[in-house]
Amino acid sequence: MSTAAPVAPARALAPLLPLAVLGHDVRVPLATGGETTYAALDYAASAPALRRVWDDVAAYAPYYGSVHRGAGHLSQLSTRLFEDARATVARFLGCRPGDQVVFTRSTTDSLNLLAGALPRGCQVFVFETEHHAALLPWRGHGTVCLPAPRSHEQAVRTLDEALADRDRTRPALVCVTGASNVTGELWPVSALASVAHAHGARIVLDAAQLAPHRAVDITALDVDWVAFSGHKLYAPFGSGVLAGRADWLAEAEPYLAGGGASRQVVTREGGGGLDVVWHDGAARHEAGSPNVIGAHAIASACTALTEAGFDALAEREDALVRRVADGLAAVPGVRVLSLFGPGAPRVGVLSFVVAGWSGGRLAAALSAEYGIGVRDGLFCAHPLVRALVDGAAGECGGDAPSGAVRVSFGVGTPDEHVQRFVRAVGELVRRGARLDYVVEDGHWRPARGRG
Ligand code: PLP
């Protein structure tokens, strides 16, 4: 039998078959003429929806109703679905008895919610390498910004020393990412958690990039809170999660004041204002009509990923990471960004710079000439990218004339997308772009009427 070559890719894809994503067959125009199938390689920004999530949302849609508000059948059904979603997320994260799962809009929202619930005088310790969502919410809380470590050991040592020096009369929180949105590298979360706890501090895990790629178990990691976003977890319906210890959340003012968070509101005699009794539990921080579709979508993704098994997903993703890393290493002038050095374990996220190329021009050429969607710039992690890319400049949000290029992938990424990406970078760098590119409104685009 001579079937060895064709069998290999089919076997490699097998674990992903139950986890198809939407959009893998979308056709896009090329600026060089014709069209091609879109290669979505920007999962770290927003991942495509799992088909299973889409189907689950569509199946529920006719039964959509208000949550925690109506006496009608569909309202009861929707309320049950919302609370079932909470229980599914709690299981997905391995929550402890008494932990709370609060549905938010996103990781940014979750971390801002926690920042608003910090006890008086709380000091926050955070590495400068964090995404802005994990770096900025603590401003005004005596934030201690730790320098970028160059190894796991250094990260643990740096935190240990910083916490040893802290004022023990004040509560403290450490915020750390599970996987970097720039380098994709994994962080030593459980070692950092034990250092935090040894010094009487608490720790929140920013799992925005970790949860889509690896099992996140709040109990096994021994972190106090976990935050993640639905749209990076193949569930793009506007929900996120903050899960963990209930006490700080229970003592805090509600994140939003309004219906749902309030148990009782009475007017003071003589028109002297309002007295409010707030709810305990998750409802305290979920004022307004909850996003039941978003919560249902996240729960559906949690179930699908758990059933597929993170070990199988990670094994397949590791193979794609190796293919991209090896492919880029063979292209002259390419430097893959890394904090922890070559071979450090990472999820399916790699950023790189190319000598003589602005990141924006390369990303524009990948899109215009090859139908490949990647991201360029500073990835909302300005201090980290600046530290890794000498002199990189630009703004978060797409108008960066320079910075790095980031390729990211995960469940449902076909081998062909990754192969096309590696080939395209090689061709562009060796042969040059076929079109001219200019910056318009802060974005690189093919020059009109050229090429
Ligand atoms: N944390 C990390 C590591 C991220 O990569 C991101 C988004 O890219 C965020 C937090 C913020 O996530 P969101 O934009 O969904 O709030």
pLDDT tens-digit series, residues 169-184: 999 999 999 999 999 9
Confidence check: pLDDT of 392 > 80:
no
Tell me the pLDDT of the chain averaged across its residues: 92
Distance (Å, rounded) from C-alpha 277 to C-alpha 266?
9
- Supply 130's token pair: 């964090």
Q: Whose CA is nearest to atom 6 of ligand 1?
A: 208
Matching residue, tokens 């990412």: 177
pLDDT tens-digit series, residues 282-296: 999 999 999 999 999
Q: Which residues are bridge partners to 438 per DSSP?
A: 445
Ligand 1, from 108, 111, 351: best to mutate by most atoms within 8 Å of Cβ? 108
Pairing outcome for strands 349-354 and 404-408: antiparallel
Q: Does 209 sit in the ligand 1 pocket, CB within 6 Å?
A: yes
DSSP secondary structure, 312-368, as one string: HHHHHHHHHHHHHHHHHHTSTTEEE--SS-TT--B-SEEEEEETT--HHHHHHHHHH
pLDDT at residue 288 in the model: 93
The domains of the chain, with CATH numbers, are 27-48+309-446 (3.90.1150.10), 64-307 (3.40.640.10)
Ligand 1, from 46, 103, 106, 107: best to mutate by most atoms within 8 Å of Cβ? 107
Distance (Å, rounded) from C-alpha 384 to C-alpha 134?
13
Q: How many CA atoms lie within 13 A of 154 on its CB side?
A: 10
pLDDT tens-digit series, residues 50-86: 999 999 999 999 999 999 888 899 999 999 999 999 9
Tell me if 101 sits within 8 A of 216, measured CB to CB.
no
Confidence check: pLDDT of 450 > 80:
no
- Supply 157's token pair: 């040592």
* Strand arrangement of the beta sheet that strand 123-127 belongs to: 100-104, 240-244, 225-229, 202-206, 172-177, 123-127, 144-146
Q: Does 177 sit in the ligand 1 pocket, CB within 6 Å?
A: yes
φ/ψ (deg, to 5) at 175: -120, 125
What is the 131 CA–ligand 1 centroid distance (Å)?
A: 7
Q: Which of 103-107, 266-270, 374-378 has the least mean pLDDT?
A: 266-270
Which residues does the annotation mark as catalytic?
A: 380
- Ligand 1, atom nearest to 240 Cα: 15
pLDDT at residue 71 in the model: 87
Confidence check: pLDDT of 89 > 50:
yes
Split at pLDDT 50, 70, 90, the class of 394 is very low
Please name the amino acid found at residue 370: Y
Q: Does 129 sit in the ligand 1 pocket, CB within 6 Å?
A: no
Q: Does 133 sit in the ligand 1 pocket, CB within 6 Å?
A: yes
Q: How many CA atoms lie within 13 A of 78 on its CB side?
A: 23
What is the 107 CA–ligand 1 centroid distance (Å)?
A: 6
Q: Does 131 sit in the ligand 1 pocket, CB within 6 Å?
A: yes
